Amino acid sequence: MGTDVGGRLRELGITLPPPPRPAGSYTPVIVDGGLAWVSGQIVVEGGAAAGAGLVDRDVPVATAQDLARRATLQGLAALADALGGVERIRRVLRVGVFVASSPGFVRAHEVANGSTDLLIALFGEAGRPARAAVGVAGLPLNAPVEVELLVAVGGP
């Protein structure tokens, strides 16, 4: 696999949050063959979406980037829980970043960098995914950002 993701997390001073628990009729991670899909992750604090609202109108881009980063860490925590550790992630294949946006907002790609920059820092080139950055009218709990992941899995 080549990348010591646990070591990179420690070097960067990052601790994964507790794995998310589903709040609906879905599972956080599906593993099938050599692939793992992570359900959309939003950052929740105290039972409410962190930084609730629309990006640009209510939520600054820098805050939305941080929420994308934090949602990605939640996704990695879900993967670690499902796979028995982040070291089993061989490659990040795709990231979908959904941005609840005010009308006319065209910087969803900048928000998505909060997710993908983190993945590249952790996995090197194996963390550089195909990506979709999509502006949407709204997200669950009025969250400004939701992140989903697809990764290739290796090892035992």
User: By residue range, what is the domain housing residue 110?
Assistant: 5-15+28-153
The CATH number covering residue 138 comes to 3.30.1330.40
Over residues 98-150, the pLDDT tens digits come to: 999 999 999 999 999 999 999 999 999 999 999 999 999 999 999 999 999 99
What are the distances in angstroms from CA 145 to CA 24, 46, 81, 101, 126? 18, 17, 22, 9, 24
Instruction: List the beta bridge partners of residue 130.
Output: 94
Over residues 29-68, the pLDDT tens digits come to: 999 999 999 999 999 998 899 999 999 999 999 999 999 9
What value does the CA radius of gyration of the chain take, rounded to a whole number of Å?
Answer: 15
Q: Using 50, 70 and 90 to split pLDDT, how confident is the model at 90?
A: very high
Kindly state the average pLDDT of the residues 86-105: 96
Single pTM value for the model:
0.96
Q: Using 50, 70 and 90 to split pLDDT, how confident is the model at 23?
A: confident
Whether 23 is in a domain gets the answer no
- Cα–Cα distance, 117 to 9 (Å, whole number): 14
Q: How many domains, in total, are found in the chain?
A: 1
What pLDDT is recorded for position 1?
A: 45
